[in-house]
Homo-oligomer: A and B are copies of this chain.
Amino acid sequence: MSQRVGDEVTKAMGEIRSGASSRRHGDTLPHIHKVGSPPKQTLFKEIKDSLAETFFHDKPLSKFKDQSFFRIFVLALQSLFPILEWGRDYNLKKFRGDLISGLTIASLCIPQDIAYAKLAHLDPQYALYTSFVAPLVYAFMGSSRDIAIGPVAVVSLLLGTTLSDEISNIKSHDYLRLAFTATFFAGVTQMALGVLRLGFLIDFLSHAAIVGFMAGAAITIALQQLKGFLGIKNFTTKTDIVSVMRSVFQAAHHGVNFRFAYKFTLKWRSSLICLNLCLQWNWETILIAVAFLTFLLVTKYIAKRNKKLFWVAAISPMISVIVSTFFVYITRADKKGVAIVRHVKKGVNPSSANEIFFSGKYLGAGIRIGVISGMVALTEGVAIGRTFATMKDYALDGNKEMMAMGAMNMVGSLTSCYVATGSFSRSAVNYMAGCKTAVSNIVMSVVVLLTLLLITPLFKYTPNAVLASIIIAAVLGLVNIEAIILLWKIDKFDFVACIGALFGVIFKSVEIGLLIAVAISFAKILIQVTRPRVAVLGKLPGTTVYRNIQQYPKAAQITGMLIVRVDSAIYFSNSNYIKERILRWLSEEEAQRTASGFPRIQYLTVEMSPVTDIDTSGIHALEELYKSLQKREVQLILANPGPIVIEKLHASKLTDLIGEDKIFLTVADAVSTFGPKGEVEV
């Protein structure tokens, strides 16, 4: 209704109310609408619906309905391999987009792969193997059109630290085998989550926790690069910031370590000699690293300023690798202490099916590491997939994504790959380069294959310093300072979760950071369900709308009545609190009103609109509330109980106790029935 007319109606109602205010309480009038009870459902249907909403809320089977057997078979195949569906509409125009984007992400992924393999303490070729097999499998099974699959920094770091905790000799063959084992079980975990439709479990890692975790991981990864960046030979194997900084400064000031320096001083040698002998920073290395890091950051900055020049940032790592490799080759800088890649094995992936530990002492560790890294990889991959799906507005089936990622890691673990997932930086480049479908992943995969077959020996002279620069430039994008500031602005609790995860990762370890993130996320849920809000409502002047008096200071309370709204389902975890909170509101209001000379409260109206569900504990709490109110000679009134609540109120016969005439469709109905004699400004 329009404002003017609304005003008139309101005025009319105001008059009506003042006229009716002399009515006695209790002369209940019939209302236009009774509180509705939905049709009763059988137990089977109820459980079925509940399970369906939990596990099959996207109704994956609806399309199979009323189809012929052959059609169902085709649909099932298409559902497992979406490429069969979108592949039929594939055309040359789409291929042009995919070819260009595929070539672009390939040029970005090869140098990143070689660098990330170091984070996992694996030889460079394993990351290249991963970038060959995983994208191929994903292209057939995945439903995202923009994601670029391959090894990523955070998962590589997570694998590197957890695997080396288990097997400290990172050069041993067992280490490699454990990596494949973990990859296999990561795939199994992901596949299981998808098949069992437990995809919602990854939703328990909150956005805030992920932002903090990623930022922490990025800082940790960047700090790890100081080894390659400064050319330090003896570097800590720990990842926490304290150990790393100690390593860096010990290398600068004292040489290998304090104990070594101490020995020298014990023997009364000149500590100056020691300093010179042991200074581990290598200036040639630093020169290369700084030069190329500057180059990479400048190109990133250019791409950021002008979205059309995204390709400048995309190919700059490849250029850096080529230029630096050539430079080292002609100057033979490797003889002056510049560390180089030295060896990348040529040839296509060997089978690793026999390498996986299916028994023995490392099986447990493999499963544990696999589950953790599988979950982290999934979280990252699905988050990226969702981001780009939203940008292009297509549906991403979370459970299908999990099955695709699970399959690609299981296949990967049999073909010498380690855990792959969607890379944020490469997916963004893929998107900007105009990819249309997952074919861009196939193009990238083919390029990586050609690289493996033909040009890996050329990487021999690639300096580690340039790889460190590439990693630093790549992971800096994961520190999303704007997002952290936004967290602070929007939700302080989220900010705490974020900073907790961040500090956990950089001061302790990746797993501890993850643990903190999950723990804080759960704590938040628990607080939410234990301490829901109970608001006091008042009437907005000139309307029949009742709102929280804290949000609407103009809202006026009703004489002789207290209206409260319970802002949550009433469950065992909060039923006692809600009951006590309502009674406390009543006592406080009563004290205040008595002090102000207003009549005592005779009616307590509970607005039940937000109470979507109630369990037996909640029913008991309501019953206890009713009894407590009876003792205080206050009538309990319920307004707008929802379908499930009203059904349970009926089932428990609580409606008989409270009285059907005390249950109203709206608060306004309750107020009009139980005679407001005026409004109270409390």
User: Which residues from chain A sit less than 8 Å from chain B, CB to CB?
Assistant: 1-3, 5-7, 9-10, 12-13, 16-17, 20, 23, 29-33, 36-38, 43, 46-47, 50, 53-54, 57-59, 200, 203-209, 386, 390-391, 393, 395, 398, 486-487, 489-494, 521, 524-533, 540, 542-543, 545, 547-548, 550-554, 567-569, 571-577, 580-581, 584, 609-610, 612-617, 619-620, 624, 627-628, 631-632, 640, 642-643, 646, 648, 651-652, 665-666, 672
Contacts and interface: CB of A to CB of B under 8 A. Distances in A.
A50 B493 CA distance: 10
| The 6 residue pairs across chains A and B that have the minimum distance between CB atoms | A206-B572, A610-B610, A567-B612, A551-B643, A207-B617, A393-B631
A57 B581 contact: yes
Q: How many copies does the complex hold?
A: 2
Nearest to A390: B624
Contacts of A58: 580, 584
Contacts of A59: 584
A552 B666 CA distance: 13
A665 B552 CA distance: 11
A612 B532 contact: yes
A638 to B, nearest CB: 14
A486 B651 CA distance: 8
A57 B527 CA distance: 13
Nearest to A4: B29
Contacts of A12: 9, 12
A629 B344 CA distance: 49
Contact of A542 (B32, B487, B619): B32
Nearest to A583: B395
A571 to B, nearest CB: 7
Given A525-B529, A551-B36, A628-B390, A616 B6 contact: no
Given A50-B493, A207-B620, 6 more contacts: A2-B20, A9-B16, A200-B530, A207-B616, A486-B652, A567-B642
A17 B2 CA distance: 8
B29 A3 contact: yes
A489 B200 contact: no
Nearest to A574: B203
A81 to B, nearest CB: 23
Contacts of A521: 572-573
A568 B612 contact: yes
A493 B615 contact: yes
A2 B57 contact: no
A552 B617 contact: no
A624 B13 CA distance: 41
B617 A33 contact: no
A279 to B, nearest CB: 46
A208 B615 contact: yes
B616 A486 contact: yes
A37 B552 CA distance: 8
A589 to B, nearest CB: 14
Contacts of A5: 16, 20
A243 B228 CA distance: 65
Contacts of A204: 572-573
A37 B547 CA distance: 12
A576 B401 CA distance: 15
A397 to B, nearest CB: 10
Given A204-B573, A545-B666, A574-B203, A47 B492 contact: yes
A554 B1 CA distance: 21
Contacts of A205: 572
A438 to B, nearest CB: 21
Contacts of A613: 528, 533
A33 B651 contact: no
A511 B493 CA distance: 35
B572 A208 contact: yes
Nearest to A206: B572
B489 A1 contact: no
A569 B528 contact: yes
Given A390-B627, A547-B36, A57 B528 contact: no
A421 to B, nearest CB: 18
A187 B328 CA distance: 71
Contacts of A54: 527, 530-531
Given A33-B540, A528-B529, A616 B487 contact: yes
Contacts of A624: 390
